[in-house]
Each structure stands twice: as C-alpha cells, then as structure tokens.
Amino acid sequence: MKTGSIGLLLAVGLALASVTPVTAQTINAAAPTAQTAPPPAFRTAEGPTGVGNTAPTSAGAPALAAPASPELSMNGAPPMTVTPGIGEPADGLMTIQPQVTKIGERAQTFHDYILFPLITFICLFVLGLLIWVVIRYRQAANPTPSKTSHNTTIEVIWTLAPVLILVAIAVPSIGLLSAQFKPAPAGAVTLKAIGNQWYWSYQYPDHGGVEITANMLKEPDQVGAGERARTDADGPRLLATDSRVVLPVGVPIRLITTANDVIHSWAMPAFWIKLDAVPGRLNETSFTIDKPGLYFGQCSELCGARHAFMPIAVQAVSPAVFARWIAAKGGTMPRAGQSSSAAIPQPGSDASATTQDAAATTLNTTGPVENATNAAPNSPQGATGNPAGAGNPG
C-alpha cells in the first residue's frame, strides 16, 4: 500500500508540474505575438505580413461624418454649407449683395455715399420744380403769361450744374474702373473660365492644368434615373452646380474669360465681377476674396435658349485647403511669388485642349501618316460634350 500511495503521489506531482510550465509558456508566447502583429489595415490577403496596402497618411485618419449632400465634400474640398444672405440672392434685399472683395467694397461705398444720394437729390429737386411750376404758373393763378426769355443766369446754371455733377461722378468712377482692370501681381492664382452652350468649364493653368466642368443641378422633380437632385445645402434654385470653383482667400486671383461658341458673361455679384467671355478673345481682370464661403453667380449675357441655366458657384477656402484640393485633383502648386508662365491658348487654336483632343482621337483612329497632309479634324462644339440631361430644359 505504501508503494502504491507513493506512486500515486508522484504521478499527481508530475502532472501538476507539467501543467504549470505549459500555461506559462502559452501566456508568455502570446504577449509578444499581440505586440508585433501588424494592424488589420496593413495586412494583405496575399503576400507577407507587415506589408501595407493602405497609405500610411490615411491609416490613422478619423472617419468623417457623411455630409448632408454629396456636393458639400465635392472635389476634395471641405464640407461647406450656404450662409443665408451671403453670396446669394435674398428675399426682401433692397441693396447690393454684401461685398467680399476690396474692389466690391469700394464700389459699394461709391454707390451708397455718392451715386444714391446724388440721384435722390436730383429726383427730389426736379419733382419740386415740376410741382412749383404746376401750381405757380397754372392758368387760374397766372392768366397773363410772362414773355420773359433768354435769362442768362438760368442758362449758365442749367448748363454748368450738369457738367459739375458729371465731373464729380467721373473722378471716383474712372478710378474704380482702373482698379478693376489692374494687372494681377506675381503669384496670383490664374483661373480661366470658358463659356459653353450652356455650361461653364474651368482651367487652372498655373497648377498643372487642373480642369473642371460645372453644370447646373436640377430640381427633384426634373431628374432622371441615377441623377442627383439639388438640395438646399447645395445652393439656391438655378444657382447650384455639380462642381464648384475652388479659390483661396487672401490671394490675388487672375480671372481670364473666353468662350467656345457665342458671347457669355462671367458674373459674380459678391465679387463685383462681370466679365464678358468672347469667342477668340481673352478678357482679364483681377480680384482678391477676403472672406471664406460659398458665392453664387450666373451668365449675364443672353447666349441662347438655356441662358438662364448657366450658374456659377465659387467655394472660397484658406490657401492650405486650396493646396490640398489642387493635390487631390492631380495638380501642382507653383513656387512662392512665381509669375504665371503658362501658355493660355484661345479656344480653337492649335494649342487648345479641344484641338489637341481631336487630333489625338484622329491619330488613335487612323494611326500616324507620313509624307501626307491631313485635313483638319471636324471638331464639334464644346456644347456637344455636355452630359446628356445636364441642366434644366430650355
């Protein structure tokens, strides 16, 4: 019995001794495995562990909340909603839209403190003269009319007074006009706006040739299958676009306008800008946006049946956000203070994007031709490139 008891005790002791080391090894071995295991974002279904298939810059980025409208995070720009009464028409507004450029503020001051008081005074003065003449020289009060004529004093006054009024208006007006067409300084952001029937396309020549096309967003009862309708967050009716122009705040903007078909006009009331877009011609002006936000305008030249459906939407952001947007669009930022050196061809010229695309299409179709003269390709208007169903029916 003693031998059996001793054997039983030895068996139990060996069992306990064998369990304890295994458990410890298991725990100790599991700890380094948990510390060295790569995060799920850097694991691939095929290939060695520890090799990532996700960009490191986005691995730790927090998830962004879904915007109320897809338009708000469009083109890589940050979500931005409309501010009522700023950059858009407002019900009951009886004056000029709030201006967000120095030129616009100067023009609004000229309107509010020179033109409007002067117009009011002249209208009241002429109305008073008419009332006085009707009462004083009516037949009942003046049965024998006077035969006085050629009053020298009166003739000098009514000739000299309008001249002085026009001079008083011309001095600040000419200065304002000169400031509107002052050349942009070095380092300005060049935006080329191209009018088409009936939509706008834009180019950033100094930033790697970034291009966007903007069509009007239709109303919910006008969209077809698969189309996105306008929401209040996108902008006002007839002014919201599917792509917004992105511009930096506090940086001079060099605006160049032209057109592919007929005369259009790029108008933005909050910037005090209205520049005609003429086929075969480049018009230029400059401005600087002082406040970030969303600003809306539209074509202001009668350009055809759907003239009313060519809106303009500009999203003004900080320079850092603008640089990120340019990078997201595949563009590059120029060096600080670098002057614009990019060639800006006219629509229809040999160097224009439309002509180059048509030539590339012809070359891909027919192949290279040697020792022969090719006829110029019959390139359609830019309007034919407008996606089907874009904009409201004319």
| C-alpha closest to that of 334 among 212, 202, 205 | 205
* 295 touches 268 (CB < 8 A): yes
The band of 174, judged by pLDDT with boundaries at 50, 70 and 90, is very high
- pLDDT (tens digit, 9 = 90+) per residue, 309-330? 999 999 999 998 898 889 888 8
Note whether residue 355 is domain-resident.
no
Note whether residue 16 is domain-resident.
no
Rounded Cα distance between 210 and 204, Å, is 5
| C-alpha closest to that of 391 among 218, 239, 221, 275 | 218
For 109, 138, 164, 172, 370, the CA distances from 167, given in Å and listed in that order, are: 18, 36, 5, 9, 67
Minimum mean pLDDT among 144-158, 163-177, 296-310, 350-364: which range? 350-364
Query: Number of folded domains in the chain?
Result: 1
Note whether residue 150 is domain-resident.
no
SS3 percent helix, strand, coil of the chain, rounded to 5, is 40, 15, 45
Q: Is 351 exposed, middle or buried (0-12, 13-18, 19+ CB in 10 A)?
A: exposed
% of the chain with per-residue pLDDT over 70: 65
Please determine, for residue 264, whether its predicted confidence score (pLDDT) is greater than 50. Answer: yes
For 39, 49, 52, 147, the CA distances from 44, given in Å and listed in that order, are: 11, 7, 7, 106
Cis peptide before 266 (omega within 30 of 0): no
Minimum mean pLDDT among 143-152, 238-247, 351-360: which range? 351-360
Average pLDDT over residues 175-195: 89
The band of 57, judged by pLDDT with boundaries at 50, 70 and 90, is very low
Note whether residue 370 is domain-resident.
no
Residues 6+ apart with CB under 8 A from 66: none
Please determine, for residue 354, whether its predicted confidence score (pLDDT) is greater than 90. Answer: no
Q: Are strands 252-259 and 293-299 parallel, antiparallel or unpaired?
A: unpaired
Q: Who wins on pLDDT, 254 or 391?
A: 254
Note whether residue 323 is domain-resident.
yes
**CATH at 211:** 2.60.40.420
The band of 282, judged by pLDDT with boundaries at 50, 70 and 90, is very high
Please determine, for residue 169, whether its predicted confidence score (pLDDT) is greater than 80. Answer: yes
Tokens of 110: 């000229």
Note whether residue 39 is domain-resident.
no
Note whether residue 388 is domain-resident.
no
Please determine, for residue 80, whether its predicted confidence score (pLDDT) is greater than 80. Answer: no
Q: Which domain holds residue 219?
A: 189-328
Highest average pLDDT, of 147-161, 244-258, 342-356, comes from 244-258
pLDDT at 88: 86
Note whether residue 195 is domain-resident.
yes
Give me the phi and psi of 202, to 5 degrees please: -135, 150
Rounded Cα distance between 282 and 255, Å, is 10
pLDDT at 40: 35
The overall average pLDDT reported for the chain is 74
Average pLDDT over residues 38-47: 35
